[in-house]
Each structure stands twice: as structure tokens, then as C-alpha cells.
Amino acid sequence: KTYDLRFKVLRGPIDPDPNIAIIAIDDKSIAKLGRYPWSRDHYARLIDKLSAVKAKAVMFDVLFPERETIAHDRLFSDAAKRAGNVVLAVAFVFDKEGQVMSITRSLPEIERGAMGVGHINQLPDDDGVIRRIPLLLERDGKQTPSLGLMGAKLVLGEEKITPGDFEIALGERSIPVDGEYRMWLNFVGGPGA
């Protein structure tokens, strides 16, 4: 609760980084493009436009687990491959004891076009509030970085993510984490910020 207090009362909101853009699936975009889910050719065009403006990283917080058409899936995968900086989401599914039961991913042919994947799981504290994010989740001895950590890796031009005791090294940078690789979030403001 003291963490919440520091954000709400002591610090207040801060300006978000102007180099980060969120391209949202919202009422306005649905009104323009039509009913969701959208055809993958929309995503392919988006990736090409982001490449044209030299985006350093393109993170999809969306899953593509089902086939649309072979042609549209290929358009999307080929655009991601051309860009070379597209990371797709994966979602871990947990049982009641917190053990990983399965992972929901995009189609393999779509993932092959991406430069990597990052998990989108958020694990709230006991009171239901999200204050920390797991930067690494493990299944069968393999660690999957979060979507945000993959974005940081791309933007900073780093090659390796190295887990340690209470830290994750991203190149020369050290990210403090707890024993479960969770990092405290530094929210820029309240919901919608």
C-alpha cells in the first residue's frame, strides 16, 4: 500500500516517453477498419508503415493462434520478417497452484516471421493490483522473457538477456528483480496513461 501511496500522493503522474507509441485496438480503430478481429493484411500494412518510419521495435500484444487464410497469414509473416524487429505475444496458462499448464501462441508460420516472442502475463498481488511484472517465466527449463523485456532488448540493441540472483542483466544494464524475476513497475500515471 505504501507503493500505491507513493504513486498517487507523493510523486503523481509523469510525462510518458515520447519515443513510445501505443497503436491501440479501440472503438475509433474498429469504426475505421471494421469488426474485430481484423484481417492479417491490415497488420502487414501496419508493420510496413512502421518500418518506413524506422520503428526500433514492434511489439504485438495480440495472439494469432488460428488460421485466417494461408495468403493472409503469409503476408503478415513476411512483413514481420522484412521488418526484423517484430515480437509476438505468448500467454502462459496457470493452474490453481500457479504451475504452468500450457502456453497459448500464434501459429508457427506466423511466429517464424517474427524475431522473437515475449509473454504478456500479468500476475496481480493478493489484493488484485498489478504492481510487479514477471520479466521471465519458465516452462520445462526454458525461460521466456516478457514482451516489454524483449522490446527493451531490441530498442537498446542488446543481444543477451542474462538472469542472475535478484537481477536480470540486459547487456551492461542491471534490472533489479525479486527471486521470481518480478520487477516493480514504475507507472507513469493512472489507468489509461
**What are the φ and ψ backbone dihedral angles of 133, each rounded to 5 degrees?**
-130, 135
Q: What is the pTM of this model?
A: 0.90
Enter the C-alpha cell of residue 36: 474485430
List pLDDT tens digits, range 101-158: 999 999 999 999 999 999 999 999 999 989 999 999 999 889 999 999 999 999 999 9
Neighbouring C-beta atoms of residue 121, cutoff 10 Å:
18
List pLDDT tens digits, range 13-49: 888 899 999 998 999 999 999 999 999 999 999 999 9
**What are the φ and ψ backbone dihedral angles of 80, each rounded to 5 degrees?**
-65, -40
